[in-house]
Amino acid sequence: MVNSDFFNHDDIKLKFSKSTLNPPNLCFTDEIINEYNETRNFPYLDKTSKIGVFLRFGNISIRKAVKKSDKAIDKTYLKELIWREFFMQILWHYPKTTKTSFKEKYERVKWRNNMEEFKLWCEGKTGYPIVDAGMNELNSTGFMHNRVRMVVASFLCKHLLIDWRLGEKYFSDMLFDYEQSSNVGNWQWVAGCGVDASPYFRIFNPYEQQKKFDKFGTYVKKWLPNGYKEQPIVDHKFARQRCLETYKEAVN
């Protein structure tokens, strides 16, 4: 119980942001919402709203965001907000998921957890351009495009067979828009061990992802250093086969 004599609100000269502020027009325009389904997967377009950080710190009410996005003809953006609330419900009802897989059989996956390779991933030195560009964007800005988040997360869990919890922890340290429920939920989705997760045999091909979503190399050129050398720390075909065998052994 708080002592009212000790904690006097009138003596505190602070101005608090309301949680009912309207979403900032700078990043939450009608154009972004209406075109979200067509543009959201292309990092070079920079067409995501970046509203996550405002929601994270309560500067904007989720109700305001839902109300605005519900007015759009296309409901893709609204569905993304629903995913956010879904992961919050999962964390509330299953708090163990911060430390263990929602699907418990995936706890049997024999992670390699090579810490030298983990360090290279963190530093954007895997030799895969789109992976390294994403990590450089994260390390430089505290933000990473959502499509690229999926690519780098898949690479860590499935190419390197490094425990999703290590990646989740690194993101929690680096992301300005870090929200535990969304972060845990999405890492488990990529690793294949979460509720309604991507199947374990879905392994992102970094080359195909770059070809499809950054075909002119605009994004990777922006975030890769001069003199960057494409020297993969692991062969894609080898890593894919190793991942399939490891997961299959664990869950079957």
Residue 15 pLDDT: 42
CATH of domain 98-251: 1.10.579.10
Considering the candidates 34, 114, 146, 205, report the single residue annotated as catalytic: 146
Spatial separation of the C-alpha atoms in residues 86 and 58, rounded to whole Å: 18
Considering the candidates 121, 136, 137, 164, report the single residue annotated as catalytic: 164
Considering the candidates 80, 137, 168, 179, report the single residue annotated as catalytic: 80
Residue 10 pLDDT: 45
Residue 172 in contact with residue 157, Cβ under 8 Å?
A: no
Considering the candidates 111, 114, 139, 205, report the single residue annotated as catalytic: 111
Q: For this structure, is 189 an active site residue?
A: no
Residue 197 pLDDT: 86
Considering the candidates 83, 114, 139, 205, report the single residue annotated as catalytic: 83
Considering the candidates 41, 137, 183, 187, report the single residue annotated as catalytic: 187
Q: Report residue 26's pLDDT band, with 50, 70 and 90 as the boundaries.
A: low
Domain limits, CATH 1.10.579.10, in the chain: 98-251
Name the β-bridge partners of 60. Answer: 21
Q: Report residue 32's pLDDT band, with 50, 70 and 90 as the boundaries.
A: confident
